[in-house]
Amino acid sequence: MEREDAAKRIAQLSDELERHNHLYYVAAKPVISDRDFDLLMKELETLETQWPQLASPNSPTQRVGGDLTKNFETVPHRWPMLSLSNSYSREEVEEFVQRIVKENGKTLFTLELKYDGVAISLSYQNGELVRGLTRGDGEKGDDITANVRTVRSIPLRLRGNPPAELEARGEILMGRKEFEKLNKQREEEGEELFANPRNTTAGTLKLQDPKTVAKRGLQNFIYTLQSDALPTRSHYGNILQCQAWGFRTPDPAKRFIEQSDSLDGIMAFIAYWDKARNELDIAIDGVVIKVDNIDLQEELGLRAKSPRWAIAYKFQAEQKFTRLNGVEFNVGRTGAITPVALLEPVELAGTTVKRASIHNADQIAKLDLHISDFVQVEKGGEIIPKITAVDLDRRTEGAVPVTYPEHCPACGTALVRDEGEAQHYCPNEHGCPPQITRRMEHFTSRRAMDIGGLGGETIETLFQAGLAKNVADLYDITKDQLLALGKGWGERSAGLVIDGIQASKAIPFERVLFALGIRHVGETVAKKLARAVGSMDKLAAMPLEELTAVDEVGAVIAESVREFFSVEGNRETVERLRNAGLQMAVEAGEDKVVGTKLTGLSFVVSGVFVNFTRDSIKEAIENNGGKVGSSISKKTSYVVAGADMGPAKRAKAEELGVPVIAEDELQAMIDA
């Protein structure tokens, strides 16, 4: 066969196999037998072996998995991949709907099932799959493209005429039947059984062998699109277009509703699926409510980690009673003491629960817990087990009450409880072993210094060996010291840790600040502080009143920062980290503020603009010292109005006397 003939036949076979693949896995309407499908696949495999230069990475043959993946590259998301805010009652849903309608008038919402799987972002260029990323931290995720290609309900090539660049986002999951089949096979082979479909899916997608992934029977549902050229300005319309391109989506007739502009309609959809969810082969844990109009979605904007135009209603968690065998008290990285219940194992929401949170001393007292009590356990948000009640009628005579310790269970230091705080703390931050090791775990984590190879067990080993008693000690460790630890340490593993420690010296200041683990200073606050203050030296010397003036830094956070730098051990640690080469200031160009013309002013942006996108106009405000809000209030300085600004917002501005300006007026303020 000549090259030209081979190319034509490969293209023909690829198209035909993809068509049959879609009919079988997406449309559930197969038209040929499995044997005929396998014969076509065998012919394609033979031709690609003879003509490897003609084989495409998106060939149907890649569905069975390719070579081993040594590691997963971390890649930034072009658009942030956010989580959803959760609600658990009609009142919370009503509050969400009324907020949207009050500001924007009558609003159309779409409703869809909330799948309990693993979020995935699929990137296509000119209709070809080029990358599959996990959610990761929302800003960047792991590239698991080789594993994604094995999921047969994910099209490798799109039909029709999709945008040149497109991201389709959805959920990869495992059906209950496939999960039971997998566990039965593992039981027969004498292997440990998997806990539940969701965790199994997450673990499967991180396997290094795509051939194993291909055998797990994973499924995919797409529920949103990202593109500079969306096919419609309706979320529901875009989902219908996804179907036309070949994606598997929620069923518009049953699992997705085109329109609902009333609270009763929304709650009826939720009530139906709360009962019907057990009839599905796949797990769902709630219903997602979204504003349908894309323009309105963009106007409503985003919070730090979730959109303002969508909310998830979570079904009530399953509850069961089991015996309380004991309580252990764990010490966290900040010294917080967390009581954990040790339970008689009980099946709950698809998993075996042996431990549950009790939160704090007040919760123990409120429940009046006794050892051997029968306690009601539920999964908060279907994830974290917690004790919610005690069956007093089943309490045995002479049962011993659970008492909260007065001293740290790890180091024996007397516990303290600050006024207004719910938790007790061990104040021995530089001498309490679990505080030290967990602080190091936080310091090396992906969102902080991102030092690979330094997980909890490894850090514990380094601590016990005397190599790391402080986060600064990590930068003194040598490769020879790691190799001398013996079992489990080789040239490669030791080299990876040393390379990771060296690479962390380039991590920007805002993440170094977060990595220090200052109480109440999370990622967002660390970023705000870093950009407002500029350096560690300035932060350490900043008076309390100046700290509280920083955006999103209140009295509690400011006190915590001052307290951190007042401790000599913390100052020594920071100095050692500085000497090790860590970033202690915002680099030139990293701080995007270019002017102060809008300092002290608060803006709300609404409508469509001529010379700006909505994101770029917000960026221009922030770059010049202004603050962008999401809703109009008495504190709003100006509303920047573009075309199609909602009448409700304009009326609100007039009612409160807030000036409404056009984009050219804003530009004039910046240029003045």
Q: Are the CB atoms for 471 and 449 separated by under 8 Å?
A: no
Token digits for 437? 């090791």
Q: Is 401 helix (H, G, I), strand (E, B) or coil?
A: strand
Residue with tokens 């009790």: 358
Q: Where are the extended beta strands (E) located within 506-654?
A: 602-606, 627-629, 638-641
274 sits in which H/E element: helix 263-276
Q: Are the CB atoms for 376 and 390 separated by under 8 Å?
A: yes
* CA–CA distance, 520 with 425 (Å, rounded to integer): 14
Cα-Cα-Cα-Cα dihedral sign, residues 384, 389, 393, 399 = positive
Q: Is 49 helix (H, G, I), strand (E, B) or coil?
A: helix
Contacts of 229 (CB under 8 A, 6+ apart): 163, 164
Through-space distance between the first and last CA atoms of the chain, rounded to whole angstroms: 72
Q: Are the CB atoms for 565 and 571 separated by under 8 Å?
A: yes
Interstrand relation of 310-314 and 118-125 (parallel, antiparallel or unpaired) = unpaired
* CA–CA distance, 46 with 9 (Å, rounded to integer): 11
Contacts 24+ apart (CB under 8 A), 131-137: 131/75, 133/75, 133/77, 133/81, 134/205, 135/81, 136/74, 136/77, 136/81, 137/446, 137/447
Residue with tokens 């996804």: 242
* CA–CA distance, 149 with 21 (Å, rounded to integer): 13
Alpha-carbon torsion angle 529, 530, 531, 535, nearest 10 = 120
5 sits in which H/E element: helix 3-25
Amino acid identity, residue 340? V
Whole-number Cα distances in Å, 278 to 274, 349, 594: 8, 11, 55
CA angle 10, 11, 17 (to 5 degrees): 85
User: Any catalytic annotation for residue 114?
Assistant: yes
Q: Is 671 helix (H, G, I), strand (E, B) or coil?
A: helix
221 sits in which H/E element: strand 219-226
SS (H, E, C) 477-515: CCHHHHHCCCCCCCHHHHHHHHHHHHHHHHCCHHHHHHH
The catalytically annotated residue of 106, 114, 184, 206 is: 114
Q: Are the CB atoms for 255 and 221 separated by under 8 Å?
A: no
Q: Can you name the residues that pair with 221 across neighbouring β-strands?
A: 171
Q: Where are the extended beta strands (E) located within 36-164?
A: 74-76, 86-87, 109-115, 118-125, 128-134, 140-142
Token digits for 658? 């807030």
Q: Where are the extended beta strands (E) located within 281-431?
A: 284-291, 310-314, 319-331, 337-348, 351-357, 374-380, 384-390
Instruction: Give every strand in the sheet of 219-226, ordered side by side.
Output: 128-134, 118-125, 165-173, 219-226
Which residues are catalytically annotated? Answer: 114
